[in-house]
């Protein structure tokens, strides 16, 4: 979905730069969103631990006591769904979603910044549509009283609501990052931290390559060979 680990604008790991503080109302919204994301990350971690405990309990009572498990599996699914969708915005804030870096090292930094901004806009369009459909499903499930087909029969509005709320947060995160990128530059949009990948290695080699002569280049090549094991 995103292009988080795209290292086009990344600095070497030893020269990490902090993201600048965004001023004005946009900065207030950004800091509020950061607080929400940090809180959700903690709750998401607790939800994953709870899902593990529920599944472990299900295995124990099923095999040791021969008791039926009516709610454990779906409860674990609800916890995982909530943790996954709610944490999507926090992952996007750190540019942590899966990325494809095939063109990163081939384009100039200016072109890469434009490419990353366009990717954000396209991602926002997809996420906004996903959010709208999620809320539609939630409304339909809530109004019609739809329930799961299991013997436990929990209302389907629960997973749809978790999905819709998580995608709403992700939409807000994209809007904030696009606005910050347009108004205050790419570093404010979450591209300040160094990232890992082939593109980072290519850009690092490009910036570190000396211009003196063949002897210096040979020495640099030897050093690079020793570093890249």
Burial 145-178 (b: 16+ CB within 10 A, else e): eeeeeeeeeeebbbbbbbbbbbbbbbbbbbbbbb
CA distances to 39, 88, 94, 116 from 3, in Å? 24, 13, 11, 7
Instruction: Note the pTM of the prediction, 2 decimals.
Output: 0.70
Distance of CA 80 to the CA centre of its chain: 16
Token pair for residue 9?
Answer: 């604008």
The secondary structure element, H or E, covering residue 31 is helix 24-63
Instruction: Give which of 77, 88, 178, 70 is closest to 124, Cα–Cα.
Output: 178
- pLDDT bracket for residue 225 (50, 70, 90): very low
d(CA 82, CA 28): 26
pLDDT surpassing 60 at residue 58: yes
155 forms bridges with which residues in the sheet?
147
Are 203 and 105 in contact by the 8 Å Cβ rule? The answer is: yes
Note the pLDDT of residue 187: 67
From 79-93, 114-128, 164-178, 193-207, the region with the lowest mean pLDDT: 193-207
Domain boundaries, the chain: 13-199
pLDDT band at 4 (very low <50, low <70, confident <90, very high): very low
Q: Over 60: is that where the pLDDT of 6 sits?
A: no
Residue 124 tokens, joined: 């926002």
């Amino acid at each position: 979905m995103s292009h988080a680990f795209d290292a086009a604008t990344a600095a070497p790991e030893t020269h990490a730069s902090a993201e600048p503080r965004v001023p004005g109302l946009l900065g207030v919204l950004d800091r509020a969103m950061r607080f929400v994301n940090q809180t959700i990350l903690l709750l998401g971690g607790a939800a994953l631990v709870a899902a593990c405990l529920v599944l472990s309990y299900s295995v124990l009572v099923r095999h040791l006591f021969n008791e039926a498990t009516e709610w454990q599996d779906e409860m674990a699914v609800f916890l995982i769904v909530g943790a996954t969708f709610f944490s999507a915005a926090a992952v996007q804030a750190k540019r942590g979603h899966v990325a494809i870096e095939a063109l990163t090292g081939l384009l100039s930094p200016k072109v890469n910044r434009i490419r990353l901004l366009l990717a954000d806009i396209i991602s926002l369009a997809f996420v906004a549509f996903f959010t709208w459909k999620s809320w539609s499903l939630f409304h339909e499930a809530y109004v019609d009283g739809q329930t799961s087909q299991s013997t436990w029969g929990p209302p389907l509005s629960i997973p749809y609501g978790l999905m819709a709320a998580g995608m709403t947060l992700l939409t807000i995160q994209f809007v904030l990052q696009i606005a910050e990128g347009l108004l205050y530059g790419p570093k404010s949009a979450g591209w300040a931290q160094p990232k890992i990948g082939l593109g980072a290695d290519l850009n690092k080699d490009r910036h570190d390559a000396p211009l003196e002569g063949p002897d210096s280049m040979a020495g640099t090549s030897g050093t690079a060979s020793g570093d890249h094991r």
